[in-house]
Amino acid sequence: MKTTIPVTDLQNRLKIAEKLALQAGQMLMQARNSGRFKSNYKAHQELVTSTDEEIDTWLVTRLKAAFPDDQILSEEGNTESATAEQAAALWILDPIDGTVNFAHGQPHVAISIGLYAYGVPQLGVVHSPFLKETFVALRGQGAMKNNQPISVSGLQELRPALIATGFPYDKTQLAPLIRRLERVLPKCQDLRRCGSAALDICHVADGSLDGYYESLSLWDFAAAVLIAEEAGAQLSHLYSSALSFYLDTRDWVITTPAIHEPLKALLLEADQSN
C-alpha cells in the first residue's frame, strides 16, 4: 500500500531543501562574480557550465546525507525517470535553471528542488539569488515568496494578460512554436521569454505573469508546478497522454484560471494551422 510522507516530515524536508537552495545560491553568485566557471555543450547544443555540475554534485551529496533512503534525479546526474511513479520519495533537482542566462550575466537564474512521492509533487523550492526571490510550497498548505503568501493574478480575460514561454535548444523545432507565438501574441497584452522555466512558472504563481506554456524537462518544473498549483494556478497539458500528470513533460499550460481555456484554444488552433 502506498503511504504519503507525513506533514511533519515534509516540513522538516522543506526547511532543509530551502537551506540548501539558499546555500547553492551563494555558490552561484560567487561563481558569477569570480567568472571562474567553464562552459561546454551537451549533445553539441545545450549549454552547461562547470558551476551546474558543481552545484548538482553538492546538492546530491547533501541530500543523500540527510535522507539516505530517498532517490534523487538531477539534470547533471541521474536523469532516469522511468521508475519515478513508484518512488516513495524522489528529489528532483535543477542546479541552474537558466544556464544561458547565468553564463551571459542575466538575472533570470534559479536553483530548483522538488520532492515527489509516487509521481506527485509534495514540496517545492525555487530560489533566484540575483532576483532575491525564494518561492516555496508544501502540498495542501499554500505557496510563499520571501515568506509571504502568494496567489495568481486573478485576471479574467486573455487580452490584458502577460504570457511567457520558451524555446528549445534544438532550432529545427522552432517552426511550430513560432506558429503558436503568432497566434497568441495578437490576443494578449504581450509575451515574455525570460529563459528560466521554473521562474516563469513561479511568476505565474505570484501574479507577475498571467500564463505560461512550454514543453520542458522534469527538473525544469518539478518544484515550480506545485508552487503554482498551491497559489491557485490552473495546470494542464495541451494534449492527453498515458503518462502520469506530474511526470508528463510535454506542452504544459499554467495560468490564472479564467484565461486557461482561451489560451489553450489559441495554441490548439496554431497547431492545427500547420
Number of Cβ within a 10 Å radius of residue 169: 13
**Cα–Cα distance between 244 and 203 in angstroms, integer?**
25
Question: CB neighbours of 27 closer than 8 A, spacing ≥ 6?
Answer: 51, 54, 55, 58
Q: How many residues does the chain have?
A: 274
Question: Residue 113 annotated as binding?
Answer: no
Instruction: Report CA torsion sign: 86, 53, 99, 66.
Output: positive
Backbone angles phi, psi at 165, to 5 degrees: -155, -170
Question: Residue 96 annotated as binding?
Answer: yes
**Cα–Cα distance between 216 and 214 in angstroms, integer?**
6
Is residue 109 a contact partner of residue 196, using CB atoms and an 8 Å limit? yes
Half-sphere exposure of 117 (CA within 13 A, CB side): 16
Angle value at C-alpha 84, between 146 and 86, nearest 5 degrees: 120
Is residue 135 a contact partner of residue 265, using CB atoms and an 8 Å limit? no
Instruction: Report CA torsion sign: 194, 195, 201, 206.
Output: negative
Question: Residue 271 annotated as binding?
Answer: no
Compute the 3-state secondary structure of the chain and give helix, strand, coil in percent, each to the nearest 5.
Answer: 40, 25, 35
Binding residues: 75, 94, 96-97, 220
Binding residues for Mg(2+): 75, 94, 96-97, 220
